[in-house]
Amino acid sequence: MPSLAGLFFWMDIKLENIKRLNVSKPLKLDCGKTISDFPLAYETYGKLNENKDNAILVFHALTGDQFVTGTNPITKKEGWWVTAVGPGKAIDTNKYFVICANVIGGCMGSFGPRDVNPNNKKPYGLDFPVITIKDMVRAQESLLEHLGIRKLLCATGGSMGGMQLLQFCATFPDKAFSAVPIACSSSHSAQNIALNELARQAIMADPLWDNGQYVLKNVQPKNGLAVARMVGHISYLSEKGMQEKFGRKLQEKADYEFSFDADFQVESYLRHQGYAFVERFDANSVLYITRAMDYFDLSKQFKGGLVEAFKNQKTKFLIISFSSDWLYTTKDNKDIVIALNASGADVSYSEIITDKGHDSFLLDEPEFLKTLKGFIDSMYEKFKNEKRI
């Protein structure tokens, strides 16, 4: 296992708080390189029951990590999906066993660009292999094996988590009894790629980035990374949502200051989000993960396109989109539904009407959470019955 020296330079990391699996099985990546003996960090919530039929795998989004709910032991903040997962929540951890792994390429303990390259004893930086969504998903299969789970009750994820899930279902058609891809797409659009490129260029334009070698100097290209995060945040909100939340309101001042300080609340919000992010995320990880998203095109992997990708699916799907999401639109999500329908799969679809944009899946959206809960609970009853037969 690569050394962890310098892995979390920006905080006093306590590794005992991170569960890590050493994946010894070699994994041939899409780029052609093979990795083996790499760490995969994960967290679990709730208890796996005797029949092992209550396991739910959650895939996290671009800037997420394995700490889905409760308190993140590293950042000391709430888990990123505390609205949906936890005791008594839509995904009830009193009832279900919830698993989430940090994606490879990430920076919360899984194999990533901050890890030390055994060949030269330096952090990989840009020598880290370019990974894909498929690589991320295949790495996580080992975790299910390790936990002794042959078939998941459900797998779910929003945004990039949804993409991982679509890939997971296409690659392993019988590993999940049901699946809930949320606010995602089966391939990145030109606009999606453009926004990611904006984020990457912001990082690369920061002189501290230093061609990805910043780790050696124990610095982080904070300014570039913060701008990258701001770009993301704009794309996660809808125009209307943003207008309602901020409008032209000024930040703790009566009038313009005729300067370039954050006069407007929306500026202050973006700056806060941007600079909070650099405390917990690695710049090179953003490059690698956004690249993986851009390369994602599920239909390209199968002759005959998306319909072929879902052929022979036994998994029962529920696709959810949000009306004001312009990053992964209702149309993007419906295209997945159409493909699933055309391949004869068991698919449900719901569009949640909201002004809150792409971010909706992380928020307390009652209609969304009710739908999610209704689906998972009904699937659990079916899965139990099926197993009994």
Partner 1 sequence: MKKEFKVIADLLPKNIRVLDVGCGDGSLMNLLKKEKNIEVRGLELNQDNVQECIRKGLPVIQGNAETELHQFPDQSFDFVILSQTLQAFYEPEKVLQDLIRIGKSVIVSIPNFGYWKVRTKLLFFGVMPVTKTLPNTWYNTPNLHMCTIKDLFNFCDEKNINIKKVVGVNENKTSLIRKNNLEIKNLFSKVGIFLIG
Would you list the DSSP string of 262-274?
--BHHHHHHHHHH
Closer residue to partner 1 (CB): 78 or 367: 367
Which one of 53, 294, 325, 332 is the catalytic residue?
A: 325
Binding site for partner 1 (CB under 8 A): 316, 318, 334, 337-338, 341-342, 344, 346-353, 367, 370-371, 374-375, 377-379, 381-382
Count other C-beta atoms under 10 Å from residue 154's C-beta: 27
* Strand extents, DSSP E, 289-356: 316-322, 346-352
Closer residue to partner 1 (CB): 351 or 355: 351
Query: Min. distance of Cβ 385 from partner 1 in angstroms?
Result: 10
Please give the torsion angle defined by the CA atoms of residues 361, 364, 370 and 375, in that order, rounded to the nearest 10 degrees. Answer: 30
Query: Min. distance of Cβ 165 from partner 1 in angstroms?
Result: 18
Which one of 110, 142, 159, 186 is the catalytic residue?
A: 159
Query: Min. distance of Cβ 11 from partner 1 in angstroms?
Result: 41
Query: Min. distance of Cβ 347 from partner 1 in angstroms?
Result: 6
Contact 31, 55 (CB under 8 A): no
Closer residue to partner 1 (CB): 163 or 352: 352
Contact 315, 169 (CB under 8 A): yes
Q: Distance between CA atoms of 230 and 269, rounded to whole angstroms?
A: 9
Q: Is 30 exposed, middle or buried (0-12, 13-18, 19+ CB in 10 A)?
A: middle
Is 325 noted as a catalytic residue in this protein? yes
Q: Distance between CA atoms of 302 and 362, rounded to whole angstroms?
A: 31
Query: Min. distance of Cβ 351 from partner 1 in angstroms?
Result: 5
Closer residue to partner 1 (CB): 254 or 389: 389
Count other C-beta atoms under 10 Å from residue 356's C-beta: 25
Is 36 noted as a catalytic residue in this protein? no
Closer residue to partner 1 (CB): 74 or 180: 180
Query: Min. distance of Cβ 90 from partner 1 in angstroms?
Result: 12
Pairing of strands 85-86, 152-158: unpaired
For residue 112, the one-letter residue type is: G
Comparing CA positions, the residue from 376, 366, 332 lying closest to residue 159 is: 332
Closer residue to partner 1 (CB): 60 or 316: 316
Is 185 noted as a catalytic residue in this protein? no
Q: Is 253 exposed, middle or buried (0-12, 13-18, 19+ CB in 10 A)?
A: exposed
Residues with a catalytic annotation lie at 159, 325, 358
